[in-house]
Amino acid sequence: MSAAPPSPLPPCVHIVSHGPYCLDGVAAAVSVARYRAGTPVIPHFSGNGHINEMLRSIHTDAAPPDSELWITDISWTEKETDDHLCQLADHGVKIYWFDHHRTGLARVNRGDIHVPFSDSVVSEEYSAARLVYNYLTKQLTQAGQHNPAFTDFAHVAALADDTDRWIHAIPGSRELALTVRTMGADRASLDGYKELLGIDAQATYTPAMKTAYKKAVQEIQSSLELAEKSRMSMRIAGTPYTLVSAVCDGHPSEIGDAWGKQTTQTVFAFYDLAGEGLSLRRYPDCPVDLSQLAYTFGGGGHPAPAGCRPLELYQRFAQQTAQLLGAAIPNLGGQDTKKPAT
C-alpha cells in the first residue's frame, strides 16, 4: 500500500522587514503580525546589504498559494530579486510593499520595479510602521471588524514614526528605539520583535526591555568616548558645510544628536564598528541630502539619516593599517627567536 501524499502546507504570512535593530522595521512587522493573529506568521529581518538574498531565499515550497509576503521598511536593488518576486506572485503569493525611504521611491519613479503587488504604499509622509498601521486600520474599518490586539499597537506605531522621522515630539520614542536596537544587536535575534508582539497599549516596558535600555545607556557612553578620541573635522570646499567624521561602536544617531547641538551646517560620518558600516547624519539646518550621498556608495536611507558600506573605505582602512604597522615593524627592538613547540 503506497503512502498517502503529504498534505499541502496551509497559507502563511511571511514578513521581511528592516531590522531586527530598527524600531520602525520591527514595529511595521509587528503591526502585520498582530493584524494577522491566528494565521501562521514567519518574520524575517535584514539590513540593506542582505535584502536581495533574504527575499530570494523565500521559495514557493515555503509560501504556498494564497500566502502573503509583506516587505516593510526596506527595498531590494537587484533585477534578479524583482524577477523572483514576480515568480512568487505568479505562484499565487500576495505581495505587499510598504516603504518610506527616498531610495525606494526613486526606484519606483525610474520604473525599476515590476512586481504585481496586491497592494503597496511607498511614501515619505510617514515612517513604514505608521504607513502599515494606517493601511491596516483602514482595512479593518472597511470590513467592519474589531481587532483589539492590533488597535492596541497604535501608540507604538506613533512612537516609531516620531523617532524614525526625527520629530522627537512624543516622550519615550528615542528610548524605545534604543531599547529595540540593543535587543536586535544580535542580527539573528527576535527578542525585540517578540517583546513588541506582546507589549500593552501604553508601551509598558517588560523586565527584558528595562535591562536592554540600561545596557544601551552604558553603550552610548562608551561609544561616545571612542568617537571623541577619533573625531576629525574639515570644511567642504565650495560649500558652507563642515564634515565631521569619527569611529564609534554603535549608536551613531545618539552621538550625532549630541554633537549636532554644538555645530551648524554639519554632516556627520560615523564608521560604526557595531554596524560594520558608515552611518551618515545631519541636523535640519543642513540641507545636504544624505540619501543621495549614501546611494553614491551603494547604500540608501533618508535625507537626514542614511548609511552605506563603501568598499573603497574598507580598502583604504586596510591599506593604512598595513602602512602603519609596516613602518613600525623594522623599529622593533628584537625578534622572537623562540621556536614553536611541536
Do 31 and 132 fall into the same domain? yes
- Return d(Cα 233, Cα 20) in angstroms, integer: 32
Range scoring the smallest mean pLDDT among 20-34, 193-207, 241-255, 295-309: 295-309
pLDDT category at 334 given cuts 50, 70, 90 is low
Distances from the Cα of 246 to the Cα of 121, 229, 259, 286, 308, angstroms: 36, 8, 11, 19, 15
Angle in degrees, CA 149, 155, 161, rounded to 5: 120
Is there a single domain that holds both residue 179 and residue 237? no
Amino acid identity for residue 271 in this structure: Y
pLDDT tens string 22-36 = 999 999 999 999 999
Based on the domain organization, do 111 and 29 belong to the same domain?
yes
How many domains in the chain? 2
Please indicate, yes or no, whether residues 196 and 49 belong to a single structural domain of this protein.
Answer: yes
The reply to whether 101 and 225 lie within a common domain is no
pLDDT at 211: 97
pLDDT digits (tens, 9 = 90+) for 53-71: 999 999 888 788 889 999 9
Instruction: Give alpha helix (H) positions in the chain.
Output: 23-35, 51-56, 79-90, 102-110, 128-143, 148-151, 154-164, 173-183, 191-197, 207-230, 252-260, 290-296, 311-328
On whether both 66 and 192 belong to a single domain, the answer is: yes
- For residue 7, name the pLDDT band (cuts at 50, 70, 90): very low
Residue 2: the pLDDT is 47
Rounded mean pLDDT, 284-306:
88
Please indicate, yes or no, whether residues 52 and 168 belong to a single structural domain of this protein. Answer: yes
For the cut 60, the answer to whether the pLDDT of residue 5 exceeds it is no
Residue 282 lies in a domain: yes
Write out the residue range of the structural domain in which residue 272 sits. 221-319
| Statement to judge: residues 25 and 165 lie in one domain | yes
pTM: 0.82
Q: What is the pLDDT of residue 65?
A: 86
Residue with cell 516622550: 171
For the chain, the first-to-last Cα distance in angstroms comes to: 62
Query: In the 8-state DSSP scheme, what is residue 65?
Result: T
Q: What is the pLDDT of residues 111-128, one digit of tens each?
A: 999 999 999 999 999 999
- Does some domain include residue 333? no
Out of 173, 205, 237, a domain closes at: 205
pLDDT of residue 337: 66
The pLDDT value given to residue 340: 64
Digit-coded pLDDT (tens) for 42-57: 999 998 889 999 999 9
Q: Please return the burial class of 148, using the count of CB atoms within 10 Å of its CB with bins 0-12, 13-18 and 19+.
A: exposed
Mean pLDDT calculated for residue range 79-87:
97
- One domain, residues 253 and 106: no
Distance separating alpha carbons of residues 125 and 66, to the nearest angstrom: 30
Q: Is the dihedral of CA 229, 283, 154, 98 positive or negative?
A: negative
DSSP string, 8-42: PPPP-EEEEEE-SS-HHHHHHHHHHHHHTTTS-EE
CB-side neighbour CA atoms (13 Å) of 127: 26
Helix (H) or strand (E) holding 4: none
Q: Does residue 252 share a domain with residue 171?
A: no
Burial of 11 (0-12, 13-18, 19+ CB in 10 A): middle
Q: What does the pLDDT read at residue 283? A: 81
Quote the pLDDT of residue 256: 93
Grade residue 6 by pLDDT with cuts at 50, 70 and 90: very low
Cis peptide before 20 (omega within 30 of 0): yes
Q: Residue for cell digits 535584514?
A: 46
The CATH number of whichever domain residue 34 belongs to comes to: 3.40.50
User: Mean of the pLDDT values across residues 155-177?
Assistant: 95
For residue 255, what are the contacts with CB-CB under 8 A and spacing of at least 6? 220, 223, 224, 227, 246, 248, 268, 270
